[in-house]
């Protein structure tokens, strides 16, 4: 029985890669460089500013110029975070089916809270979720630390035994295991590894397949 589903955001619920790539390319064009193809930057979206700055400009967090570039990236992103970002196909229907079935839904993401909440609001997904926690929320930290998942369980009063975390990256799997909840990995996100080679409880190719899995396990209100 599954009564609580906690979702990752980027690469799981919403395709945020186009706007993240734009934020990085604006830094390049401001310095007279050609923008990189979105497809080239897309795999790095799961790592946020760190991944995009590394891919677009070859800088690492240890480089002296990184803090200023990160601020520039975040400023660019703040002006463009829902220009092209959209829910992945089938996600709104999945969330509606889960809500109608009585499941409790939440988001636990590495994305900064100011962006996570605004994206979910602007894309009309926020009403589905009873909790939205980010890595910079009080008491939380970046995955693979399990803090956002553990805090979500605490906030909802949810039982780890009837909770599943849904993400698109190996760090989501590690965070799930450390939090003591089941893990579902989706194959439509940004991971650059073979998710089927990992030890997730299930790997799905579409929201429809995820719903079929949940139906087979049984989902609904906590008893």
- Catalytically active residues are 8, 10
The pair of structure tokens assigned to 219 is 């989902």
Distances (CA, A) of 140 to 30, 106, 137, 150: 34, 15, 5, 9
CA gap 190, 31 in Å, rounded: 27
CB 148 within 8 A of CB 140: yes
Q: What are residue 126's DSSP bridge partners? A: none
Q: Report phi then psi at 138, rounded to 5.
A: -55, 130
Q: Which candidate, 83, 88, 73, places its Cα nearest to that of 8?
A: 88
| Residue 62: burial class (beta carbons within 10 Å; 0-12, 13-18, 19+) | exposed
Separation of first and last alpha carbons in the chain = 10
CB 109 within 8 A of CB 8: yes
């Amino acid at each position: 029985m599954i009564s609580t589903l906690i979702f990752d955001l980027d690469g799981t619920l919403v395709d945020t890669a186009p706007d993240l790539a734009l934020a990085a390319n604006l830094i390049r064009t401001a310095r007279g460089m050609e923008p990189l193809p979105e497809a080239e930057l897309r795999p790095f979206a799961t790592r946020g500013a760190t991944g995009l700055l590394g891919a677009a400009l070859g800088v690492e967090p240890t480089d002296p110029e990184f803090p200023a570039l990160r601020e520039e990236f975040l400023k660019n992103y703040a002006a463009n975070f829902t220009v092209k970002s959209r829910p992945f196909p089938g996600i709104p229907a999945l969330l509606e089916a889960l809500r109608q079935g009585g499941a409790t839904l939440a988001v636990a993401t590495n994305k900064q809270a100011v962006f996570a909440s605004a994206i979910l609001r602007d894309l009309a997904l926020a009403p589905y979720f009873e909790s939205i926690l980010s890595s910079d929320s009080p008491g939380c930290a970046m995955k693979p630390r399990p803090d956002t998942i553990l805090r979500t369980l605490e906030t909802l009063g949810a039982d780890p035994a009837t909770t599943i975390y849904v993400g698109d990256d190996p760090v989501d799997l590690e965070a799930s295991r450390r939090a003591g909840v089941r893990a579902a990995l989706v194959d439509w996100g940004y991971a650059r590894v073979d998710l089927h080679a990992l030890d997730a409880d299930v790997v799905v190719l579409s929201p429809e397949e995820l719903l079929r899995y949940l139906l087979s396990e049984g989902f609904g209100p906590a008893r």
